[in-house]
């Protein structure tokens, strides 16, 4: 099946980033979100992102005009039935993702592959909410999507080889590098990354060092481009908490227990860059 139109459920940070990349690579995009303000913000961010591509010489003004003509923004999930391949990019919550997949499965064409951008939730479990588990796969993009080259690909227990091959092919057409991970809580990247971020938060919580010292140590001592607390703010503290909770429940190891300070920040609404306040304050 030739993929010309990509449907994306969720117009938040990840959804709009995936949409921008798909537009830059010549795909038609149906971007769906039930919140009109999320769609308005997505349009603004995608336009700005394409503008930066022009400044870098990656696109011409004419190509931007053509790309924007290939973008359709909708608030009705029924519109995704026109897509050849659908990527879910909603909040990292099991209940929300299960509900969205059930609805997408009902409206999508029977041969359409349904991919989840989940960063931790079982693909096998997500697939069980559909009538096409062989066509459900994990396609975990990194943030920010237009910049990061990696896409983690996860097969569920019933995912077919054909679905896997088509997803790898699409990933490469999007200019990304696919890496396969097994269907375990946190997959590969978050299995390694989240314990580091969580331990950095514990170090702050216990007064081992200031947030600036913790981040500076990792940047200068481990050659990381961004400190763990800065990275947590970029990812979203609510997302970090959700991933750690999935790993803690799924693996049963206390080393994945979320730091109380992380939970307190999320309860206060300090979610990172997207709210203007996390471990750092943003304007």
Q: Which residues are catalytic?
A: 119, 140, 152, 190
Q: Is 81:4 a contact under the CB 8 Å cutoff? A: no
Encoding tokens for residue 71? 């973008």
Q: Is 155:137 a contact under the CB 8 Å cutoff? A: yes
* Strand partners of residue 74: 32
The conformational region for residue 140 under phi > 0 = left, psi -120 to 50 = alpha, else beta, is beta
DSSP one-letter code for 1 = -
d(CA 261, CA 201) in angstroms, rounded, equals 7
Among residues 234, 30, 271, which one has the least CA distance to residue 147?
A: 234
DSSP one-letter code for 109 = -
Q: Is 73:43 a contact under the CB 8 Å cutoff? A: yes
Among residues 249, 262, 254, 243, which one has the least CA distance to residue 202?
A: 262
């Amino acid at each position: 099946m030739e993929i010309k139109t990509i449907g994306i459920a969720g117009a938040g940070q990840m959804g709009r980033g995936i949409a921008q990349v798909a537009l830059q690579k010549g795909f038609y995009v149906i971007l769906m979100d039930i919140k009109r303000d999320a769609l308005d913000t997505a349009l603004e961010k995608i336009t700005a992102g394409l503008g930066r591509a022009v400044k870098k010489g990656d696109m011409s003004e004419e190509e931007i005009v053509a790309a924007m003509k290939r973008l359709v923004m909708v608030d009705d999930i029924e519109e995704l039935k026109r897509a050849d391949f659908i990527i879910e990019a909603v909040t990292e919550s099991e209940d929300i993702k299960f509900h969205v997949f059930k609805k997408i499965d009902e409206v999508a064409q029977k041969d359409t592959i349904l991919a989840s951008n989940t960063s931790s939730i079982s693909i096998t479990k997500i697939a069980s909410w559909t009538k096409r588990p062989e066509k459900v796969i994990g396609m975990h993009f990194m943030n920010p999507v237009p910049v990061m080259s990696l896409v983690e690909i996860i097969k569920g227990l019933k995912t077919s080889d054909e679905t896997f091959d088509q997803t790898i092919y699409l990933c490469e057409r999007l200019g990304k590098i696919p890496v396969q991970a097994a269907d375990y809580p946190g997959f590969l990247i978050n299995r390694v990354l989240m314990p580091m971020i969580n331990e950095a938060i514990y170090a702050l919580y216990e007064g081992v060092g200031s947030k600036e010292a913790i981040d500076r140590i990792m940047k200068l001592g481990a050659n990381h481009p961004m400190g763990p607390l800065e990275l947590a703010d970029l990812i979203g503290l609510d997302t970090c908490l959700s991933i750690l909770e999935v790993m803690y429940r799924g693996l049963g190891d206390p080393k994945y227990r979320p730091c109380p300070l992380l939970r307190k920040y999320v309860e206060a609404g300090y979610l990172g860059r997207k709210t203007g306040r996390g471990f750092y304050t943003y304007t």
